[in-house]
Amino acid sequence: MLRKKKITFVINYFYPDLAATSQLMTELTGRLQNNFDITVIAAQPGYAGENHDSNRLFEVDYLESIKVVRIKLPEVDKNSKVSRMKYISSYFLLANIALLKEKGTDVIFTISQPPVLGGLIGTIGKFLKRSRHIYSVHDFNPEQAAAVAYTNNQTVFKIAKAVDKLNCSYADQVLLVGEDMAETLKGRFVGQKVPPHTVISNWTDEEAVVPLDKDEPAIREFLETNGLQDKFIVMYSGNLGLYYDLENLIQVAKEFTDQPDIVFLFIGEGAVKQRIQDYAAENQLENVKFLPYQPKEFLKYSLNAADVHLVVNQKGIKGVSVPSKIYGVMAAGKPVLGVLEQGSEVQRLIFESGAGVVIEPQDYRGVVHAIQYLRSLDPNELKAMGLKGRVYLEENLTRDTSINKYRSVFQEVAGTPQLEAAYQADPYNEVINKK
């Protein structure tokens, strides 16, 4: 019988971590475990403060048939560059060691986390282990860091960009999560051969997250518990990170203090959460509320508690990153207020689906007007707007659609399709079985 090709995923975040990447990669590997022999190398969970007790540098666990090698890393303070660098360098070193210890790897799969170094792990592994490498770019760096002026050191920027360009050029396949990101990749290789690449959208479980009305018992209890009954809720649900201009967008809430029925609800954790909480407290913004990440199984209720969802990116992020929260919002059938650049992936999705309105980043007055406009709509008209997103998702962005694209890429890079077809036709063929 043919040996399953072995794919080693080096992906930092994995179950039971609460990061969006963790949830995507957990679903992906789970759906592919019957096709491939899968090992995952990931950090011990801790993205949103999850506790873990192990003191071992490497700990082997199993999730169904998936082997999981968990790496113990130092605690990270996302507001401290020194702490972040300590965490990232530890991960880079230990992930490389764990990868080199894995035997029989046919394909190494890495993602662009941590920035640049995630891809470099695959580049190093490809040559030392004589494996193939699939590089999944969720965020282009250092372009993303430059957009928010995370560093103004041009030497660091040039070196980082050169390293990540090397990662892309040596990868057997580059995966991108948006059409606009494909243009960025091509822009890196003007006048040169563009690496083989495929665009595969992120997703949500559209069977688990479905449109629900606010009178659903779990949603009603959620609203009552948090003092949100009879409110028009503008929700941001996800990573409260550096790349979303949230420190400025929070100021929009001041324009609605005389409209007590409008509430801004932020659900999640991240590097800027404390800053925007401090701003709300200092300005006595009673129309702003904060909640921690909700359990995955409760997302279908928390997402449906909103009247409008904020899906935002900082200026300069077009073609660099795609906010994956859009898929959950569309699955829930809720209207979108996008603060996004024209031509960006999510702006295109909102425009094509008709599921909301889009304002350019840093146009805060435009955001105020957009909220006023959405609030003024007849409830049935607002509901119909959101449901357009659900229809679009079902037609174009289902989980199966994306996972099947991943499966095809893995089979192509691993070199399995022809052998599998031959084996199915003649499972006793000795030539095939020797391979």
Full pLDDT tens readout for the chain, 435 residues? 578 999 999 998 999 887 889 999 999 999 999 999 999 999 998 644 445 566 789 999 999 999 999 999 988 777 677 888 899 999 999 999 999 999 999 999 999 999 999 999 999 999 999 999 999 999 999 988 887 766 667 888 899 999 999 999 999 999 999 999 999 999 999 999 999 999 999 999 999 999 999 999 999 999 999 999 999 999 999 999 888 999 999 999 999 999 999 999 999 998 899 999 999 999 999 999 999 999 889 999 999 999 999 999 999 999 999 999 999 999 999 999 999 999 999 999 999 999 999 999 999 999 999 999 999 999 999 999 999 999 999 999 999 999 999 999 999 999 965 444 444 334 444 433 433
Give the alpha-carbon dihedral of 301, 303, 308, 310, to 10 degrees.
160
| pLDDT of 75 | 84
- Give the whole-angstrom CA distance, residue 326 versus residue 296: 16
Question: Reduced to 3 states, what is the DSSP secondary structure of residue 312?
Answer: strand
Asked if the 217-396 domain carries CATH number 3.40.50.2000, the reply is: yes
Tokens standing for residue 292? 């921690």
Instruction: Say if pTM beats, i.e. exceeds, 0.75.
Output: yes
Cα–Cα distance for residue pair 163/411, rounded to 1 Å: 27
What is the rounded distance in angstroms from the CA atom of residue 71 to the CA atom of residue 59?
7
What does each C-alpha distance from 390 to 20, 43, 299, 326, 328 come to in angstroms? Answer: 20, 34, 16, 11, 9
Q: What is the pLDDT of residue 151?
A: 63
β-bridge pairing 58-63 and 66-71:
antiparallel
Q: Which residue carries 């094509």 as its tokens? A: 352
Please name the fold of domain 6-203+398-434.
Rossmann fold (3.40.50)
CB 119 within 8 A of CB 133: no
**Residue 211 in contact with residue 391, Cβ under 8 Å?**
no
Helix (H, G, I), strand (E, B) or coil at 8: strand
Domain ranges for the chain: 6-203+398-434, 217-396
